Amino acid sequence: MDSMPLEVEERHLRADAERNRRKLLDAAQALFRERGLDVGVAEIAERAGVGRGTLFRNFASKEALIVAIVGERMREMAERGRALLSEPDPEAALSLFLEQMAGAQHVDRALAEAVADTLLTNPEVRQAHVEVVAALDALLGRAQAAGAVRQDVSALDVLMLLKGVCQAAAAFSHIDPDILRRQFDLVLASLRPAEADRQLPGKAPTLEDLERAFPVRRSPGKASG
Amino acid sequence: MDSMPLEVEERHLRADAERNRRKLLDAAQALFRERGLDVGVAEIAERAGVGRGTLFRNFASKEALIVAIVGERMREMAERGRALLSEPDPEAALSLFLEQMAGAQHVDRALAEAVADTLLTNPEVRQAHVEVVAALDALLGRAQAAGAVRQDVSALDVLMLLKGVCQAAAAFSHIDPDILRRQFDLVLASLRPAEADRQLPGKAPTLEDLERAFPVRRSPGKASG
DNA sequence: ACCTGAACACCGTTCAAGT
DNA sequence: ACCTGAACACCGTTCAAGT
């Protein structure tokens, strides 16, 4: 059972079905991005030009639709993080990545609501999130090796700290674009190499801690084995 | 119209009505605290031992019930902040207040969800929130005067930074109690007096910025003037 | 094989009938 | 004056009837 590939479901769709699926994704993407995850399925189907039932034929639930969209955005973000590994200055690369994450949430309400929500327990979103953490971990490791960042923080430490920045700054930056940068600088200040008597207590949180805090819920019904 | 007192509505309730109101508040408080703001009004009314209709006679909406509870918790928190002004060590007082805020959200899911939500646009919650900011501002000012905290941060700067810590740490601290303290220490590290070339850009956010970012929505219908 | 809208279940909210 | 549960409006989801 461990040899079963995880991402098949590539069985051929009829041409019109494939087209409808795309129209639904595009409509939902635009509406979620603009007005958040509370927009109704009726409006999404209408904007896509299909019946309500078609939405649920392509996606098991409204959440599944959300997951398809948010998961993709997260994977894009992880990819941008990996790309920054070729940036010569390790500190600048880390700072840029943090900035891009906040920026993405700023222009996409769906993404901002998703990371705050309990959506992280969904398997697909979790996997994408793990990718992001891995990319951040790599960038953070480089910055630490270069002596630009204190040794005793982990990627999850940084991510937790950034979460508030993203949410708060996103709400404010319509008004005052400076605030985003201020909050960043505060986060970066917290990450500077610490004197010996300022070491953080306990152990740095890992992905295993994340798993124990938010156990991934198996999607119900589908898997019978 | 500016001479109208804001918090009257103290007209006498019949004894049984007063009792029902209390039962509803107690039931909702317990359920919200334990399981978050999604618990249904039917369950709340049942636990309180009254009909659904009675809930809506005492509170204009489910949100009004939430606001009554969350607002009170926030006002308690502001009071604790003001009490800490008599703590002799300014840095310890500030640190304690931040710790108490995170702790309160840790034991009360309702509070944690409320501060993340758009509930801040509600007038009553906003007023309570402003009280908290004011208390934090006083504690922060003392710590800055004592040279324990950099001069260029405002209470809102700190509150934004803390928001992520509260959310993230609350979720994790079931697993690893160290994490809360780590995140705190990171926030405190970011607040240490900065070297001249590390000053934050722009101006520190004020309560007026908060008002422009989240304009208070007038409660609809009630006020006719 | 897929599309569709009527029908269903589940919320918050209202209101006519009771006391 | 207040209480109550049946009724309503509004969601996400299902499904029998269509193509």
pLDDT at B173: 67
Interface of A with B in 171-190 (CB under 8 A): 171-172, 174-176, 178-179, 181-183, 185-187, 189-190
Q: Which residues touch strand D (CB under 7 A)?
A: A 38-42, 52-53, 56-57, 60-63; B 13-14, 16-17, 20, 50-54, 57-58
Name the residue type at position B180.
L
User: In this structure, is the CB of residue B41 within 7 Å of any atom belonging to strand C?
Assistant: yes
Q: Taking each helix axis as running N to C, give the angle between helix B109-116 and helix B155-172, from 0 to 180 degrees, rounded to the nearest 10.
A: 130
pLDDT at A2: 43
Nearest Cα residue in chain A from B188? A190
Which one-letter amino acid corresponds to residue A74?
M
pLDDT at A4: 43
Helix/strand/coil for A176 = coil
| B168 neighbourhood in chain A, CB within 8 Å | 159-161, 163-164
The nearest CA of chain A is from the CA of B180 a distance in Å of: 10
**Interface residue B203 vs chain A (CB under 8 A):** yes
Which chain A residues are closer than 8 Å to B106 by Cβ? none
Which residue's alpha carbon is at the shortest distance from the C1' of D5? B51
The predicted pLDDT at position B199 comes to 86
* pLDDT at res. B221: 37
Q: Is A213 in contact with B175 (Cβ distance < 8 A)?
A: yes
The Cα–Cα gap between A97 and A155 comes to 12
Does residue A50 reach within 7 angstroms of strand C, measured from its CB? Answer: yes
- pTM, two decimals, is 0.86
Which nucleotide does the CA of A16 lie closest to, via C1'? C2
Q: What is the chain B residue with the closest CA to A176?
A: B209
| B76 and chain A in contact, CB less than 8 A | no
Look at residue B52 in the predicted model and tell me its pLDDT: 96
Return the closest-CA partner of residue B170 out of B23, B36, B21, B4. B36
Mean pLDDT for each 10-residue chunk of chain B (225 residues)? 44 83 97 96 97 96 96 97 97 94 89 81 90 96 96 91 77 72 88 82 86 71 33
Q: How many CB pairs under 8 A join A and B?
A: 136
If you ran DSSP here, which 8-state letter would residue B38 be given? T
Q: Residue B115: its pLDDT value, please? A: 84
Asked whether B135 and B86 are in contact (CB, 8 A), the reply is: no
Among candidates A168, A176, A186 on the partner chain, residue whose Cβ is nearest the Cβ of B190 = A186
- B40 Cβ nearer than 7 Å to chain C strand: yes
Instruction: Report d(CA B156, CA B216) in Å as an integer.
Output: 17
Chain A residues 77-106 with a CB less than 8 Å from chain B: none
- Taking alpha carbons only, the member of B139, B165, B164, B168 closest to residue B153 is B139
What would the two tokens of residue A37 be?
């995850």
* Residues B125 and B73: beta-carbon distance below 8 Å: no
Chain B residues 56 to 75 with C-beta below 7 Å from nucleic strand C? 56-57, 60-63
Residue-level pLDDT at B175: 66
Residue B2's pLDDT is 42
pLDDT tens for each residue of B51-106:
999 999 999 999 999 999 999 999 999 999 999 999 999 999 999 999 899 889 88
- Residue B40 CA to residue B47 CA, distance in Å, equals 11
Determine whether the interchain pair A160/B181 forms a contact, defined as Cβ–Cβ distance below 8 Å: no
Nucleotides on chain D that have an atom closer than 7 A to a protein CB are 1-7, 11-16
Q: What is the pLDDT along chain A (225 residues), one digit of tens a residue?
A: 444 444 444 567 788 889 999 999 999 999 999 999 999 999 999 999 999 999 999 999 999 999 999 999 999 999 999 999 999 999 999 999 998 998 898 889 999 888 877 677 888 999 999 999 999 999 999 999 999 999 999 998 899 888 877 777 666 766 677 787 888 889 999 999 887 678 888 888 888 888 887 787 765 433 332
Q: Cβ of residue B42 near strand C, that is under 7 Å?
A: yes
Confidence (pLDDT) at A162:
87
